[in-house]
Chains A and B, each alone.
Chain A
Amino acid sequence: MQPKDLYHALPADSVPEGTTLDQLLSMLRSIMPVLDEMKDSVEKSSSKIPKATQQLTNVTEATENATMEILNFIDDIGARIGSVEEKLKQIELDLSKKEESVRTLMRVVESMSPEQKRVFLPYAQEWKNLTDLSLHVEMIGELRKHLSDVQEISMNIAMALQVQDITSQQIESVRHLIESVRTQLGNIVGRYEGNTAAAPDEEEERTTFDEHARYNKDSSRQEDADSIIAQFIHHEPMNGSPR
C-alpha cells in the first residue's frame, strides 16, 4: 500500500489518540500534502524539459548552419586566391616576354653600324629604362606572399571551426543528461502514484557524443596520445598516467 493510500484509507478518528500509530498517522497526514505538492512541482518541471532539450538542439543546428556558411566563404576566398594566382602567373609571363623583347632590341641595336647605333642607341636605352621590370617582379613576389598569408589565415579559421563539432557534442551530452533526469523523475512520480511496474533497466545506450569533449588547442593531449602509440608499437608496458 502506498503512503497516500494509507492516508486515505484510515479516517482521522479510527485510531486511539496518543498511540504510536496515531502519531505515525498524524505525521503522514502532515507530510502527504507536501509530497503531493512536490509531485506536482516535479511533473510541472519535467514538462518543461522537452522544450529545453529542443532549444539545445536548435542551438546546435544554428551553429552548424553558421559554420557551414563560414566554410563556404572560406572556399570562396580560396577560389579567388587561385584566380589571382593565375593572373599573377600571366603577368609574370608577360613581363618575361617584354624583357626578352628588350634584350632582342638591344642585340639588334648593338649589331648596327656605328652611325646607325649613334641614332638608335639612345632610344633603345630609354626604352630599356622605361621597361625596367625588376620593380614589378619584386611586387609580384610580395603579392604572392600576401596571398599565401591570406590562404594560411583562411585555413586557420577553418580549423578553428572544429569548435562547432566539439561544442555540439558538449550540448548533446547536456541534452542526454537532462533527458536522463526527466526519465528518473518520471519513474519516481510513477512509483509515488502506485505504479508498481519495475523501472526498466537503463540500457547501454549508443551515444553519438563524447561527454569529455573539450576545445583545447594545447598540444599536450596529442603528445600524450603519441606517447601511448609509441609505447604500444614498441610493446612497452603502459605505466603511469598521462599528464
Chain B
Amino acid sequence: MAIKFLVVDDSLTMRRIVVNALKSIGYDSVVEAGDGKEAWGKLQSEPIDFVISDWNMPEMNGLELAKTIRSSPTLGELPVLMVTTRGNKEDVIEALQARVNNYIVKPFTPQALKEKLDQILKVVPISK
C-alpha cells in the first residue's frame, strides 16, 4: 500500500531531509510544498494521505494549515504530523488543540519519524 505524503516546510533542505528519511523507512510517494498556502492548494487538487508539516512558514504556517485541514468537510480527518523546532510545552499544547495527530521536535531521527508514523497509522488506518 503506497501512502502518499505531503511534506510542507519553507526550508528546501528540510524538505529533502524529510523526504530522504521517509524513503529510508520505505515510503517513496511524496509531494512537497513550501508553505501552508501552497500545501492547501495541493490538498485540494490531488489525493494525499498524510501531511507532515513544519510550523513557522510564510503565507500560512503549520498551525494554520492544521486548523484549515480540520475545518474541511472532506479533508478533516487527514493525518497531520507536526515536525518543528518548537519544543515548548505551550507550543505542543497549542498544536494538539489544533488537533494535529502527533508532534516531532527537530532535530529528529528516521527511527523517531517511523515511530510517530506507526503510532498515527495504528489509530488512523489509511485504506486504498
Interface string of A184-208 (1 = CB under 8 A from B): 0000000000000000000000111
Which one of B38-46, B72-80, B89-97 is at the interface? B89-97
Chain B residues positioned under 8 Å from A163 (CB to CB): 107
In the complex, are the beta carbons of A229 and B107 less than 8 A apart?
Answer: no
In the complex, are the beta carbons of B112 and A222 less than 8 A apart?
Answer: yes
Of residues 219 to 243 in A, which have CB atoms within 8 Å of B's CB atoms?
Answer: 221-222, 224-225, 228-229, 232, 238, 241-242
Q: Does B20 contact A (CB under 8 A)?
A: yes
Output the residue of B61, B86, B88 with the most chain A CB within 10 A. Answer: B88
- Closest Cβ of chain A to B70, distance in Å, is 15
Interface string of A149-168 (1 = CB under 8 A from B): 00000010011111111101
In the complex, are the beta carbons of A210 and B86 less than 8 A apart?
Answer: yes
Q: Out of B14, B87, B93, B103, which one reaches A165, CB within 8 Å? A: B14
A130 to B47, CA, bound (A): 58
- Closest Cβ of chain A to B35, distance in Å, is 9
Q: Does A215 contact B (CB under 8 A)?
A: yes
A238 to B93, CA, bound (A): 9
In the complex, are the beta carbons of B58 and A208 less than 8 A apart?
Answer: yes
Specify the main secondary structure of chain A where it touches its partner.
Answer: helix
A170 to B102, CA, bound (A): 25
A225 to B70, CA, bound (A): 22
Interface residues on B, range: 35 or more
In the complex, are the beta carbons of B105 and A161 less than 8 A apart?
Answer: no
A161 to B21, CA, bound (A): 12
Count, A-B residue pairs, CB within 8 A: 104
- Closest Cβ of chain A to B14, distance in Å, is 5
Q: Does A46 contact B (CB under 8 A)?
A: no
In the complex, are the beta carbons of B21 and A67 less than 8 A apart?
Answer: no
In the complex, are the beta carbons of A213 and B93 less than 8 A apart?
Answer: no
In the complex, are the beta carbons of A159 and B110 less than 8 A apart?
Answer: yes
In the complex, are the beta carbons of A210 and B55 less than 8 A apart?
Answer: yes
- Closest Cβ of chain A to B43, distance in Å, is 21
A-B contact pairs, 12 of them (CB 8 A): A159-B21, A159-B109, A162-B108, A169-B85, A212-B86, A212-B87, A215-B107, A228-B89, A229-B92, A229-B96, A238-B89, A242-B88
Taking beta carbons and an 8 Å cutoff, which residues of A are in contact with B? Answer: 64, 67-68, 71, 74-75, 155, 158-166, 168-169, 206-210, 212-217, 221-222, 224-225, 228-229, 232, 238, 241-242
10 other A-B residue contacts (CB within 8 Å) besides A64-B13, A71-B17, A165-B106: A68-B12, A155-B24, A161-B13, A164-B11, A165-B9, A166-B85, A166-B107, A222-B112, A224-B89, A229-B102
